[in-house]
């Protein structure tokens, strides 16, 4: 049985925007793809090591992508990132009250739920004891946060209950390993 990872990672849920990708209305050198939404062209950058991260996390967790973005906007991004929906088949949008992908409804075992988000206030709205804060990403190509998060997620995947381990960590994991206390 896989843990559930919310985004984020058996369920892991991840916030899509500024955690996995950065979107802007301005063309930049590191743009991975673009799309048109209504009358605007939007440019998307994938966080460094995104696909490596998703491949490794998928071995440990059932991934749910959640976002405050609208369905139309987020689906454009996720369909380009993962055309086969290997990693992003379960999606929850701003209007979702529970994790859902239109046909997926299942009770969530909080002992196995990990929520990765760049906005810790989200944890209070969802499950504060299941939240793993992550630094926002705004396009820095030297970013390694996804790689540095993997060892902690692997530990969580082996736990009977992730909540005590998350509570004990009590910090945002950073690339230098020191974290910032929350």
Whether pLDDT at 101 is above 70: no
Whether pLDDT at 114 is above 90: no
- Binning pLDDT at 50, 70 and 90, where does residue 5 land? very low
- CB 139, CB 30: distance < 8 Å: yes
- CB 88, CB 57: distance < 8 Å: no
Task: Give the CATH number of domain 21-174; options: 3.40.50.1000, 3.40.630.10, 3.30.428.10, 3.30.70.260.
Answer: 3.40.50.1000
Model pTM?
Answer: 0.77
Give, in order, the Cα–Cα distances in Å from 17 to each of 24, 96, 111, 154, 160. 11, 16, 25, 23, 30
Sign, CA dihedral 150-96-32-135, equals negative
What percentage of the chain reaches a pLDDT higher than 90? Answer: 35
Angle subtended at Cα 15 by Cα 134 and Cα 31, rounded to the nearest 5 degrees: 90
- CB 11, CB 60: distance < 8 Å: no
Alpha carbons 32 and 43: distance in angstroms, whole number:
8
Whether pLDDT at 177 is above 50: no
Domain locations in the chain as residue ranges: 21-174
- Binning pLDDT at 50, 70 and 90, where does residue 131 land? confident
């Amino acid at each position: 049985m896989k843990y559930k990872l919310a985004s984020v990672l058996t369920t892991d849920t991840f916030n899509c925007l500024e955690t996995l990708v950065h979107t802007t209305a301005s063309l930049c050198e590191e743009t991975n793809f673009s799309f048109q939404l209504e009358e605007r062209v939007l440019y998307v950058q994938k966080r460094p090591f995104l696909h490596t991260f998703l491949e490794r996390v998928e071995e440990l967790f059932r991934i749910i992508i959640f976002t405050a973005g609208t369905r139309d906007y987020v689906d454009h991004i996720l369909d380009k990132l993962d055309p086969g929906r290997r990693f992003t088949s379960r999606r929850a949008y701003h209007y979702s009250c529970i994790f859902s992908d239109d046909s997926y409804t299942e009770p969530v075992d909080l002992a196995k739920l990990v929520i990765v988000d760049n906005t810790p206030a989200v944890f209070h709205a969802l499950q504060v004891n299941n939240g793993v804060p992550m630094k926002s990403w705004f396009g820095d190509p030297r970013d390694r946060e996804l790689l540095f998060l993997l060892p902690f997620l692997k530990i969580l995947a082996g736990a009977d209950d992730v909540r005590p381990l998350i509570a004990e960590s009590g910090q945002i994991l950073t690339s230098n390993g020191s974290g910032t206390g929350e």
